[in-house]
Every structure is written in C-alpha cells, then in structure tokens.
Structure 1
Amino acid sequence: MLAVLLFVVAALLVGFAKTAIGGLGSVAVAIFASLMPARESTAAILVLLLVGDVVAVWHYHRDADLGLLRRLIPAVLPGLAVGALFLAVVDDTVLRRSIGVLLLLLAAMQLVLARRSSAAPPIGHSTAAGLGTGLAAGFVTMTANAAGAVMTLYLVARGVEKKRFLGTSAVFFFGVNLCKVPFSAALGLFSTATLARTALLAPVVVLGAWAGLHSARRLSQARFDQAVLAATVVSALALVVR
C-alpha cells in the first residue's frame, strides 16, 4: 500500500513540475528509482514525463524562447547518445549512485548561483554555455530523467522571467523526451508491466499538472526563482540520501 501511495505522489510531482516548479521532478525520479530497478524506472518516468509535457506545451508553447532553444538543441542528441551508452554498460548500483552524484553536483551549482550578487555580470550567455547545457541536459535526462536542474541553472543564470522560463522548458523537454523514446526502446526498458503502471498513473500526472498551472499563476517572479532553485537542491539531496 505504501508503494502505491508513493507512486501516486511521484506522478503528482511529475505533473506539478511540468507546469510549475521543474526541480521537483527529480524527487519523483528518486521515488521511482527506490521502488523499481533503476534502469526500468527511467522508462516509467519517461512515459509520465511525456504526459506532463503535452499539458505543459499546450499551455505554455506561446511563451517559448526559440533563440534559447537554438542554442541548446545542437548538443542534446550527442548527450542523449552518450547517456544511452552509459545506461547500456553500467549496472543498477552504479546507475543509482551516478544519478545521486549528478544531482548533488547540480545542487551545488544551484547554491553557487543563488549566492551570486545581483550586481554580478550575467552568466550562461555564450554559445559555449548553451552547447554545454544541451550536452549536459541530454546526458542527465537520458540517465536520470533529471535535466530540469540543468535547465534551471541555465535559465535562471540568464535571468529568464517566469512565463518565458516555463514556455522554453516545456517545448525543450517535450522534444528531448520524444527523442529519448527510441533510445529507451532499443535498450529494452519498456516492459509490459512498466507501460501498464504508467497508464494507470497518467491521470494523476494530469491532475498534478493542473495544480501546477494554478500555482504558477500565483507565484511572483522572485518567489518563482527561489522555488525552482530550492526544489532542485531538495531533489538532488533526495537522490543522494535515498
């Protein structure tokens, strides 16, 4: 019964993260990885993420910044390929630890960003920063479904306001997650049991997304920035200590 409750909570967080505070999605990753084999959990989360992506794109696509997306996309596919290779060669224990370490590093980067002076020059504006973010996002999302932390770091560093943040993230991750499907299928991660479980949880994701839409409207820009940073730190710690 506890496992069922945790799956439901994770599905709610996936939906909420897609339409409000992206960093919370990594908490769902931690929950799934603690209840299922780590490799299979990445496929289960991927299906639920796509459900949330559809809702997020429907509501936020008009606010997407295509210029930012063009800086990120070229490096995503190589990152996905490296992540798929990593999944193919490591065992479950190594994957679990790798997910935790990746998110802990990202949490540390988030804390550094949060402590920056408002007078400091903006970071993340170069082509190299965009390509690096795309490569990291591709790798992290393929191995851990947790690239929201990477995108948060990049977009907050660029001072992207709330609506543009949500729109850009929605379109970016919908495309990235669609690209991940053939990689995961080639690795044999979509079992019948996994697909059946995610089909049952899909309506819960939609409910979480609806709650996120209403919450995002009430958040001020300052509160939104604080929330996405805090959520990323919490999610990273959740992965490390689980």
Structure 2
Amino acid sequence: MPELTALAWIVVAAGALIIGLAKTALPGAGTVAAAAFAAVLPAKQSTGTILLLLIVGDMFALWMYRQHADWRSLIRLAPAVIVGLLVGVAFMAFADDDWVRRVIGVILLAVVAVTLWRRRARPDAVRSGRVAAAAYGSLGGFTTMVANAAGPVMSMYFLASRFEVKAFLGTAAWFFAIINITKVPFSAGLGLITPQGLLIDAVLVPLVVIGAFGGRAIASRVPQRLFDRLVIAFTIAGALYLLLPVH
C-alpha cells in the first residue's frame, strides 16, 4: 500500500466522493477532485490514478442517465475531440506540469467568459455552430489528456447548448465514458498508471459509488437555474486553482 499520510488519505477520499457527485449531479466539480489528487500525489501519477476513478463514476452516470443523451451533439463534437486528444498525448510526452496547468487555467476562464457572452447575446449560436463545436471539442480533448480538466470546458459547451439537467448529465456521461476509456492505453503508455495508483484506486472506489448515489439524489431536486450557476462556479474555481503556483 502506498505510504500516504493520514491527511493525504483524507484529501484523496474527499476527491473520490467529489468524483461521484460530479458525474451524477455537479458537472465541473471534477476539476476540484483533480486538484485534490494533484495536491498529495506526484502530478503525472495523480493524472493516471484519478483516471480510473473517473471511469467508475462514468459507469454509474451512464446507468442513471444513459437514455437522456443528445447524440447529435456528441457526433458533432467527435472529430475535434479526437484531434485535441492526440495533440494532448504528444504534448504530455514533454510538457512542464506547471506551465500546462496555467495555460489550461487561462483557457478555462476564457471559455467561461466567451460562453456567457454568447449565451446572453446569441442564445442559439452554440447549439447550431460547427465552429463552436470544433473549438470546445478540441479544447476538451486536449485538456482531458493533459490534466483531466475537460469537465469545465465541456460543461460550458453543454450549458451554452441550454440542455436541461438530465439531458446535460446524460450527454456528459456518454462523452466522458468514451473519452476516459480511450485515454487508458495512452495513459498506460506514458507511465501515468502505476501499481501504487491502482492500489489507491482500489481503496477509494467505494467512495466514488457513494458520491454517485448521493449525486443522483441531488440532481433530482436541483432547479435548472441553480444547476447552471453551480456549473459556472465550479468551472471558475477549477480554473483559478490551476492558475495558482505549485509549492
């Protein structure tokens, strides 16, 4: 078993609960979980460790919301996501962790600003725009590979598309399940998935499950306006964290 301090175990346990909640109720909160793991594990190891927990959360999200997905939006996003993912794989081979974190933080804040402006000025622009799908999709593919940070990017796309809560969660469930499973061989090849990380995952999986069921209860009660505001708040919080210097 990896030698983590009691505080480190508390931090990653909280992160695992947040993963479950993020997958079934609070999109964008996954960045908070990624931040928690990166705070107590080596940066690249944390990326591989959290990936498998994200996949567990994806499976529960699919079970709960699979019938609500908007497949037209997913198909429109696919080509750009693949391009972004491959660029991210190449970038991870030589990237500096601190520089990458800050670049992604800036990208996320820009995405929030542009999305809110487009939603206010042209409410139907994102839903019908191929350019927007290409921009969000490529950013989503890139950020998910280098920092497991696609949640905020894609949350902004789905939010701008004005999906109601279950359609949002169902579309996001299929999107991230496909993407995260696709990332496994790349992550293994880059050495991001380690035996120590797998042991940590084995301990934390039950907490992801608990968080997922708790999230389902929340999602069935949260009003649409509050849901939208929570998505934006978690996205901004994740972006700001990525901009902080690493100590």
Q: Name the TM-score, length of structure 1 as normaliser.
A: 0.93
Cα offset, 1:102, TM superposition: 0.8
Q: Which residue of 1 aligns with 2:168?
A: 165
Runs of 4+, deviation exceeding 6 Å: none
1:120-139 deviation digits (Å, cap 9, x = unpaired): 44332212221222211111
| SS across alignment from 1:51 | helix
| SS across alignment from 2:125 | coil
Query: Counterparts in 2 of 1:10-49, with a 5 A limit?
Result: 10-49=15-54
Q: Distance in 1 between matches of 2:44 and 2:14?
A: 20
Query: Counterparts in 2 of 1:211-230, with a 5 A limit?
Result: 211-230=214-233
Cα offset, 1:72, TM superposition: 0.7
Q: Does 1:53 align with 2:55?
A: no
Amino acid at match of 1:234: A
The CA RMSD over aligned residues, in Å, is 1.6
Cα offset, 1:197, TM superposition: 0.6
Amino acid at match of 2:168: F
Of 101, 104, 107 in structure 1, the residue corresponding to residue 103 of structure 2 is 101
Q: Which residue of 2 aligns with 1:130?
A: 133
Cα offset, 1:221, TM superposition: 0.7
Cα offset, 1:5, TM superposition: 0.5
Q: Which runs of 5+ in 1 are unaligned?
A: none
Q: Name the TM-score, length of structure 2 as normaliser.
A: 0.91
219 and 95 in structure 1: CA distance in 2 versus 1, 3 angstrom threshold? same
1:183-202 deviation digits (Å, cap 9, x = unpaired): 00111221110111111111
7 and 65 in structure 1: CA distance in 2 versus 1, 3 angstrom threshold? same
Of 74, 81, 92 in structure 2, the residue corresponding to residue 87 of structure 1 is 92
Q: Which runs of 5+ in 2 are unaligned?
A: 1-5
Q: Which residue of 1 aligns with 2:3?
A: none
1:53-79 deviation digits (Å, cap 9, x = unpaired): 000000001000010001011222221
Is 1:27–1:239's contact at 8 Å kept on the other side of the alignment? no
Q: Which residue of 2 aligns with 1:67?
A: 72
Cα offset, 1:119, TM superposition: 5.8
Q: Which residue of 1 aligns with 2:83?
A: 78
Is 2:119–2:160's contact at 8 Å kept on the other side of the alignment? no
